[in-house]
A and B are shown apart, each in its own frame.
Chain A
Amino acid sequence: MLIYTLKRLVVALLVALTISLISFGLLYLSGDPATTIAGESANQAAIEAIREQYGFNRPLYEQYFAWVGRALQGDFGTSFYFKVPVTDLIFERLPVTLGLGLSAIAFAIVLSIPLGVLAARYPNSIVDRLALTISVMGQAMPSFWFALLLIMVFSFMYPLLPSSGSETWVHFIMPTVVLGYYATPAIMRLTRTGMLEVLGADYIRTARAKGLRPRVVLFKHALRNAIIPVVSLSAVQLGFMLGGSIVVETIFALHGTGYLAWESIRRYDLPTVQAILLVFSLIYIVLTFLADLLNAWLDPRIRVG
């Protein structure tokens, strides 16, 4: 386990390094960011001063190493736009994105696991068909369209829910549904497939032979085994939601990292974009690692001996 963890750590570092290269190279496609920083009404002198101040006139590799060096110490530089440390900026906004991501994945799980379980328990029943419909619709529904439709119906036609802000949990209902629905199909399918497989297993028959109640058989004995791949998938989906949060946060005016990323791209706020890309990647790596740990906990064959 220790060796495995170390290996994972090395891979994670290599990935982070690669991503840092990509994000750095990517954003320097744009050429000289000094004009951007200076703003609409800045004159040439201001632009020159900025170029000097940020070191844009130095060779690219020098800028890269300087950046990586600082990044290793948790210093991603200063946002061109906000003029505050990018690290502060990201960590100030990360809770919203993570909160949204967690509630969305929770929504997806709460919706899809019971449905997936029931669909597998009663194949070709109404529940199964409902589950199938939900999942097929979920795959085909562009999230921004879904979000706008929700706003139109639940905030405009029937003003029941707030369409912007992140003050209370009520504000998170619509964003959660939109983002969570996006992850639902995959989780539901995998649950259903896994459950179908597990329900045919011998140990399920054993459990029933012990006279255990159907609920116990289904949830204790079957789900526990079927859920193992679902955990990995959920982690991956949570990672994907970081990307999905860009659209959702923009529409619902949630000031999270996804929206920050999008605005930073539009503002050419390179240090912020680079850092977010890197942070998102790291989160993904951490998530998959956590999922593995969780799997190890769920599956004693991995954990023990």
Chain B
Amino acid sequence: MAALLEVENLRVDIPLGAGDLHAVRGISFQVDRGETLCIVGESGCGKSLTSLSLMDLLPPKARRSADRLAFDGIDLAKVAPSAMSDIRGNRMAMIFQEPMTSLNPAYTIGNQLEEALLRHRNVSGREARERAVHLLEKVGITGAASRLGQYPHQLSGGLRQRVMIAMALMCGPELILADEPTTALDVTIQAQILHLMIELQKEFGMGMILITHDLGIVARVADKVAVMYAGQIVESGTVNEVFENPMHPYTQGLLRCIPVPGKTRRGEPLGSIPGIVPSLIGEMKGCAFANRCPYTFEACLTTDVPLFETGSNPNAGRGYRCLLSEQQCIENAKEVA
């Protein structure tokens, strides 16, 4: 059976005056039911656009193309806008980064929760209301029934994000896209929300794509990881494989940036990756990471690097995008550890 979401060679281009901005440059991944894929990368690497492109919510100017973009066998690249909107919020739902601004200030929480269900299911207002109350309780909001009449500005950021999560769950989606759902929140609340999401995901058996730049989160929740750099997936695999054996110098760099309990010694300086992300405008030659990579050699600057598949299980999607030999990569990874 095919995976819940199959993405092959997804590209997102944004035409600009100076030439096209290739924001996402041919990425492929799969997500199954009950599985969590984490897309990791620094700001501007194209991870948010990736999620928006899956939902068909790209800004008007951006163009999307893909060899295959299938959700439960439905070709999202070919589906009509109205059919897409039938899927959106229904079978695929999204949680955004900015809980403060992602709720419409003019309508009550209840209204905004219920409208998703009313749109996709043939239910009465009362049923929608009950579902909303149920889900608000589910996401840990006390006094759920009374909250329905409140407006977003009356809620704190954490509460609003819980509302957003509840909203995404209203129709019982099969796939959840969460774009940095905790970034804008207090650290203490981050953990709660994350915890909540994982729980719900397991409970409802949804597939989830979690977009984050926080490797700590990845380590805790992901089944699979895709590391994005400059619009490409530079490394993918199961969370264990990637964290245990980061093949790509970028992944290695990222991992060096976080303290690992038991491994990072107290007082030891954390790593950082020097240099800046290359411009994504126009055609790019060679490895995108070449200008920041400690191992760069001549071929890196001229050869477009393919994603090398590796790993014991070919279905696990283990791969990396580096010209160094596998052996060399493993060597380098040991240094990180």
Contact = CB atoms under 8 A, between A and B. Distances in A.
Give yes or no for direct A-B contact (beta carbon below 8 Å).
Answer: yes
Interface of A: 201-203, 205-214, 216, 221, 224-225, 298-301, 304-305
Contacts of A300: 105-106, 108, 151, 153
Q: Which among B89, B103, B104, B107 has the greatest number of chain A C-beta atoms within 10 A?
A: B104
Contacts of A203: 101-105
Contacts of B257: none
B119 interface: yes
A224 B106 contact: yes
Contact of A211 (B85, B104, B108): B85
A278 B57 CA distance: 54
A208 B96 CA distance: 12
B120 A211 contact: yes
A210 B102 CA distance: 12
A299 B106 contact: yes
A172 to B, nearest CB: 33
A304 B217 CA distance: 37
Name the 5 nearest CB pairs between A and B, nearest first: A211-B89, A210-B89, A211-B88, A202-B101, A203-B104
A205 B57 contact: yes
B86 interface: yes
Interface of B: 55, 57, 81-82, 85-90, 93-94, 96, 98, 101-108, 112, 115-116, 119-120, 151, 153-154, 164, 167
11 contacts: A202-B98, A202-B102, A203-B101, A205-B96, A206-B96, A210-B89, A214-B81, A221-B104, A225-B105, A304-B154, A305-B154
A203 B151 CA distance: 13
Contacts of B153: 300-301, 304-305
B55 A207 contact: no
A225 B98 contact: no
A301 B119 contact: no
Q: Which among B89, B90, B106, B116 has the greatest number of chain A C-beta atoms within 10 A?
A: B106
A212 B111 CA distance: 13
Contacts, number: 84
A211 B116 contact: yes
Contact of A212 (B89, B94, B102): B89
Given A202-B96, A205-B96, A211-B120, A304 B151 contact: yes
Contact of B104 (A206, A213, A298, A304): A206
A28 B58 CA distance: 66
Contacts of B102: 202-203, 205-206
B104 A209 contact: no
Contacts of B55: 209
Q: Which among A203, A209, A213, A216 has the greatest number of chain B C-beta atoms within 10 A?
A: A209
Given A210-B88, A211-B120, A301-B153, A201 B115 contact: no
B34 to A, nearest CB: 22
A216 B57 CA distance: 16
Contacts of B94: 209
A211 B107 CA distance: 17
Given A211-B89, A213-B82, A225-B104, 19 more contacts: A202-B101, A203-B101, A203-B105, A205-B96, A206-B103, A208-B57, A208-B85, A210-B116, A211-B85, A211-B86, A212-B85, A212-B115, A221-B106, A224-B104, A224-B106, A225-B105, A300-B106, A301-B105, A305-B153
B106 A225 contact: yes
Contacts of B98: 202
A29 B115 CA distance: 63
A212 B154 contact: no
Contacts of A207: 104
Contacts of A209: 55, 57, 88-89, 93-94, 96
B88 A299 contact: no
Nearest to B164: A206
Contacts of B104: 203, 206-207, 221, 224-225
B35 to A, nearest CB: 21
B103 A301 contact: no
A213 B80 CA distance: 13
Given A202-B101, A203-B101, A206-B96, A212 B119 contact: yes
B86 A210 contact: no
Given A221-B104, A225-B106, A213 B85 contact: yes
Contacts of A299: 105-106
Contact of B106 (A206, A298, A305): A298
A206 B154 CA distance: 19
B90 A211 contact: yes
A205 B86 CA distance: 15
A271 B103 CA distance: 55
A39 B108 CA distance: 65
B178 to A, nearest CB: 12
Nearest to B151: A300
A212 B233 CA distance: 32
A224 B102 CA distance: 15
B262 to A, nearest CB: 39
A212 B94 CA distance: 13
Contacts of B119: 210-213, 216
Contact of B88 (A201, A208, A304, A305): A208
B154 A210 contact: no
A209 B85 CA distance: 8
